[in-house]
Structure 1
């Protein structure tokens, strides 16, 4: 335990949690004020799915480029630069023009893209071997922290000020994080090498690593499906709760926040259990099965039904669908060749988080053509079940 509490372990992991939590909050800001932003942009609320897709496409692409910058400048400096992109993104988003919509999403993706590879790079370098699954899971609490903050704060800020002010405040917080990280940068980036090559062929190495390693490829495909369920929570849960179930925005945002908030606890206790009490791949499989069941229940939930049951459903969904990602990255890093954890993580993001690029636009198209969020959630529920059984069937 004393190895885990060493300052050289705690400080960089805590910094990464803050960084990724803030970029995640920025990514969820639109989906937690959909009607207000849509009115400002004069577009359908379902276009939150398009915005999410652009962000993730950019994040996945940009994530392929980080091996060289990490080696030459260090993971901390690379993340600081990424945060500046994120702060700029939130300011541009308030302009409410088509070009602002696209440019903001691209810059926000550039801010978020390096965060998971940075986590793998740092944890594999400083984390004690026996505590790495826990540290990966702990680092990933940044995602539900960001989601919970968005769910709790954005609707309130929108109702008390304006959606533009909410975006500017988030951008200010992201910029502040980049500045206060500077005193810790030198120690955190001790492994940087000013002569490290920024080779063009590094761009393809992460994809090649995943494609050539059968188990990594298999769990990345399963993760693609299960993260597709997550994409629908991020992009459409609040809209569904407001439009179909009939909740007020702040109460829908509270359920969104509960789902993300409780998954913070899930990522900690699942990290402790993983490979100590239960195999990590079993946790991944059961998470998919429970996720599928939750989506099927949500799809059949009656308008005006019990708010407390919705809260319970949000908590269960948060534990199952939002609590497992750190363990997935732990498995990828464990299966990667020695010294290639960051590259394997970046490559696996392309396969797994590619669902954030594909699923939200398809869901948006489905809703615009069919007009039903409920049947869309039913389909997503079946996909969640399939992902769970696939995780359970992979052998390595």
Structure 2
């Protein structure tokens, strides 16, 4: 029989194994939350604008004007704001962008339309922070083996913010009024910033040399994002790819519902269902193509697949008729969401990888400028053509050609 002390010595006590959370999880999660918050605020404008117009007696055209001013705010920041990012840090700059946009929502409570325009511009500027600041953080922290996936998850926050806004704000506005809906939206945005606030202090790098606000508005600084594209490895072509794919994507997002209602005799609710399917597939598509790019080790191949899918689904939409059943159009919309809207994360990740290490945010800003300009110009040209000819089909075919143009450019981008 064993002595008690010998028996006890043979008993092995298992200590709980502590699994350290990878260092990249927290900053990536924070950027996803903030990207979703910034997108959520921007999507509020087209949702609440009709209520503002009805209550304050504004011209109906202000729905489009406020959306355009919102985009202008984003473009303004992308041209002059990278110095601001370096001055206060990447995560902190996105947080302040969301906070300023949230605070500016108070201007919507005034019947003065110019104040609503100011609020739209500030919200747009806050949204513009997220791409260059987020790209630098993700490039620094994401593991190379899953970098495309990480960037794609971050970009999934864009449609996710739209889904949250679309599901919550109209219901609140109908049940409690648009003012209560805006207050609830402000609380949600503040909460998302508060959730990530401490991380800004822990993750952000020391500020570079401070730039004066007058210097930020100089022509030399405004051209910095464009110069950064020249310094990378085929980053100018990659930025043009983003612009061309964005042109097709913006036409789907802007005109699908109108086409289904005007040409295919869908009810507005059924057209909205198809649109929602496309948005949901966009979230999944971004993540899937990010995973695929990492799996095969080639962002160019993944982007080429999205270009082919984007061109094919857009051409099929142009060929659709009233005889096509709902389930076919729903599948087509899902395919378009996954491909025509599935390229963003992979393109931004590849841009960050090819940019000079000290110019990641500047190159991301230059690339996003191409995307935003395409988002502005393509729908305007599409609308002008439809207004002049009444032909949606030919306009969608032209949008499909933009995706084929992206495919041709990708073939000319050298491996790196």
TM bucket normalised to smaller? 0.7 to 0.9
Query: Which residue of 322, 327, 334 maps to 1:308?
Result: 327
In the TM superposition, what is the alpha-carbon distance from 1:187 to its structure 2 partner?
A: 1.3
Measured against aligned partners, the alpha-carbon deviations of 1:344-387 in whole angstroms (never above 9, x if no partner) come to: 11122122332123223333433444445444333222222322
- 1:18 paired to 2:36: no
Measured against aligned partners, the alpha-carbon deviations of 1:167-194 in whole angstroms (never above 9, x if no partner) come to: 55434422332233323332132x133x
Q: Would you say the 8 A contact 2:229–2:366 is kept in 1? A: yes
**Root mean square deviation of aligned Cα:** 3.1
Query: Which residue of 69, 73, 82 maps to 1:58?
Result: 73
- 1:353-364 to structure 2, matched below 5 A, reads 353-364=372-383
2:339 and 2:94 map into 1 onto residues whose CA distance is 29
Measured against aligned partners, the alpha-carbon deviations of 1:8-30 in whole angstroms (never above 9, x if no partner) come to: 31122112112212322333345
2:59 and 2:236 map into 1 onto residues whose CA distance is 41
Q: What is the match of residue 121 of structure 1?
A: 136
1:266 and 1:130 map into 2 onto residues whose CA distance is 19
In the TM superposition, what is the alpha-carbon distance from 1:112 to its structure 2 partner?
A: 0.7
Q: What is the match of residue 6 of structure 2?
A: none
Query: Which residue of 286, 300, 308 maps to 1:267?
Result: 286
1:232 and 1:385 map into 2 onto residues whose CA distance is 15
Gaps of 5+ in 1: none
- 1:186 paired to 2:201: yes
Q: What is the match of residue 197 of structure 1?
A: 210
Q: What is the match of residue 142 of structure 1?
A: 157
Moved more, 112-121 or 361-370: 361-370
Q: What is the match of residue 43 of structure 1?
A: 60
Q: Would you say the 8 A contact 2:239–2:366 is kept in 1? A: no
Moved more, 147-156 or 382-391: 147-156
2:269 and 2:37 map into 1 onto residues whose CA distance is 20
In the TM superposition, what is the alpha-carbon distance from 1:332 to its structure 2 partner?
A: 1.0
In the TM superposition, what is the alpha-carbon distance from 1:325 to its structure 2 partner?
A: 0.7
2:271 and 2:40 map into 1 onto residues whose CA distance is 16
1:154 and 1:381 map into 2 onto residues whose CA distance is 33
How many residues end up aligned between the 2 structures? 389
In the TM superposition, what is the alpha-carbon distance from 1:115 to its structure 2 partner?
A: 0.3
SS in 1 for 2:320: coil
Which one has more relative contact order, counting CA pairs under 8 Å at least 6 apart?
1
In the TM superposition, what is the alpha-carbon distance from 1:116 to its structure 2 partner?
A: 0.9
CA gap of 1:358–1:240, structure 2 versus 1, over 3 A, is same
- 1:189-338 to structure 2, matched below 5 A, reads 189=204, 191-193=205-207, 196-198=209-211, 200=215, 201-213=220-232, 215-277=234-296, 279-303=298-322, 305-338=324-357
Q: Would you say the 8 A contact 1:70–1:192 is kept in 2? A: no
Q: What is the match of residue 411 of structure 2?
A: 392
CA gap of 1:304–1:91, structure 2 versus 1, over 3 A, is farther
Tell me the TM-score normalized by structure 1.
0.85
Moved more, 235-244 or 59-68: 235-244
CA gap of 1:87–1:249, structure 2 versus 1, over 3 A, is farther
Q: Would you say the 8 A contact 2:304–2:407 is kept in 1? A: yes
Q: Would you say the 8 A contact 1:31–1:236 is kept in 2? A: no
Query: Which residue of 87, 92, 98 maps to 2:102?
Result: 87
Q: What is the match of residue 376 of structure 1?
A: 395
Q: Would you say the 8 A contact 1:75–1:118 is kept in 2? A: yes
In the TM superposition, what is the alpha-carbon distance from 1:206 to its structure 2 partner?
A: 1.8
